[in-house]
Amino acid sequence: MTRRDLPIGFAHRGARAHAPENTLHAFRLALDMGARGIETDVWMTADGVPVLHHGGTHRRQPIGSLRAAQSGLPRLAELYDACGTDLDLSLDLKDGRSAEAVVATAYRAGHDPSRLWLCGWGVGPLRWRTVDPDVQLVSDTRKQHLVAGWQAHLAAVRQGGGAAVNLRRRRWSKALVDLVHDAGLLAFGWDAQSERRIRVLVALGCDAVYSDHVDRMVRVLGRPPG
């Protein structure tokens, strides 16, 4: 990934401000509106299928106790069928069990692993490096992950094969973006819901932004070429 490819605009849970979140319609609409990337959340069903949903329960039952057909939730494979593979895809692996199935699904679809971003808390995603050498690993960093300080955390992420650090937009500063870049990592900012906040993250040097509002994000970042 070169600097001219950045920043990436991820449509949070699809075009969440414009359609029901984490639905195939929302994902397709986000791309039609000009988003370059999609963000969604992954859970594993009882029969080992990665499905897309934010919470761990569906219709008051744990997703892990349901079979995919029983759940009625969209599958990751269906996202690729609906949206193709010319996109950056940020997947928050909610239960930590789905990395192998997610990567296998992505390869079957023909998705470039350099455009597949697997996200999880702290240094947790680093254990997924054994699943694939090329997929992008993203640390969703919270205060509890910084007991030894930022430099130690960033070094651990980098040495473990991580690619990026993801923080809520208000936690970013120019100094912190520079520290992350100096560590050889990318800086991702989520919860950027207004044009002003998206512009602030871009001005700070962030390499990706996540927004519910695809129209606002596209007005700031532009549409992908092609």
Predicted confidence (pLDDT) per residue in 76-134, tens digit: 999 999 999 999 999 999 987 899 999 999 999 999 999 999 999 999 999 999 999 99
Exposed, middle or buried, 95 (CB in 10 Å: 0-12/13-18/19+)? middle
Q: What is the pLDDT of residue 5?
A: 76
Q: Which residues contact 122 (CB under 8 A, 6 or more apart)?
A: 139, 140, 141, 142, 144, 145, 153
Question: Which domains, and CATH codes, for the chain?
Answer: 3-221 (3.20.20.190)
Indicate the SS3 state at residue 177.
Answer: helix
- Residue 88's H or E segment, with its range, is strand 88-93
Mean predicted lDDT score pLDDT of the chain: 95
- Whether the pLDDT of residue 199 is over 50: the answer is yes
Strands 8-12 and 116-121: unpaired
- Residue 186's H or E segment, with its range, is strand 186-190
- Residue 197's H or E segment, with its range, is helix 195-204
- Judge whether 166 and 117 are in contact, CB under 8 Å: no
If one compares 13 and 225, the residue with the highest pLDDT of the two is 13
- Whether the pLDDT of residue 1 is over 60: the answer is no
- Whether the pLDDT of residue 225 is over 80: the answer is no
Backbone angles phi, psi at 127, to 5 degrees: -70, -15
